[in-house]
């Protein structure tokens, strides 16, 4: 039977395809790019809350404290144990100022001063 919509349709031939359009100049390939890793960070109140946070076995979880001073990565293992890695984001405390010892008296100078005050008091 002949199909009235497609009178020249032959089911034994492959379907008609448009010829490929010529492409523009090939794009230069760049070197391999490193894979991108996406993760979810959970905000916790403090370090103790992060250590006690439940984590699925084999699925490490990143956490950050509310003051953004500490990042934790907690990993749970099949044997029931877990490990926590800490990354401190706080700036280091400034070094104490050097002490100028010229402002202070020595013990010998102190004793001499005390002796002179005792003589004046007599």
Q: What is the pLDDT of residues 6-43, one digit of tens each?
A: 666 666 766 666 676 766 666 666 677 888 877 889 99
Q: What is the pLDDT of residues 41-85, one digit of tens each?
A: 999 999 999 999 999 998 899 999 998 889 999 999 999 899 999
Q: How many separate domains does the chain show?
A: 1
Domain of 73, in residue numbers = 38-90
Residue 85 belongs to a domain: yes
Residue 18 belongs to a domain: no
Residue 8 belongs to a domain: no
Q: Is the dihedral of CA 51, 57, 58, 60 positive or negative?
A: negative
Q: What is the pLDDT of residues 107-120, one digit of tens each?
A: 999 999 999 998 88
Residue 2 belongs to a domain: no
The burial of 62, by beta-carbon neighbours within 10 Å (0-12 exposed, 13-18 middle, 19 or more buried), is given as: middle
Average pLDDT of the chain is 82
Residue 30 belongs to a domain: no
The burial of 75, by beta-carbon neighbours within 10 Å (0-12 exposed, 13-18 middle, 19 or more buried), is given as: middle
pLDDT of 93: 81
Residue 16 belongs to a domain: no
In DSSP terms, which residues pair with 107 in a beta bridge? none
Residue 82 belongs to a domain: yes
CB 51 within 8 A of CB 44: no
């Amino acid at each position: 039977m002949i199909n009235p919509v497609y009178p020249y349709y032959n089911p034994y031939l492959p379907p008609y395809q448009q010829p490929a359009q010529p492409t523009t100049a090939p794009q230069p390939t760049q070197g391999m790019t490193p894979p991108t890793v996406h993760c979810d960070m959970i905000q916790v109140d403090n370090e103790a809350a992060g250590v006690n946070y439940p984590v699925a076995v084999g699925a490490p979880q990143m956490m950050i404290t509310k003051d953004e001073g500490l990042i934790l990565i907690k990993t749970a293992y099949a044997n029931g144990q877990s490990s926590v890695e800490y990354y401190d984001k706080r700036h280091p405390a400034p070094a104490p100022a050097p002490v100028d010892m010229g402002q202070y008296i020595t013990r010998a100078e102190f004793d001499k001063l005390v002796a002179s005050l005792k003589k004046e008091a007599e």
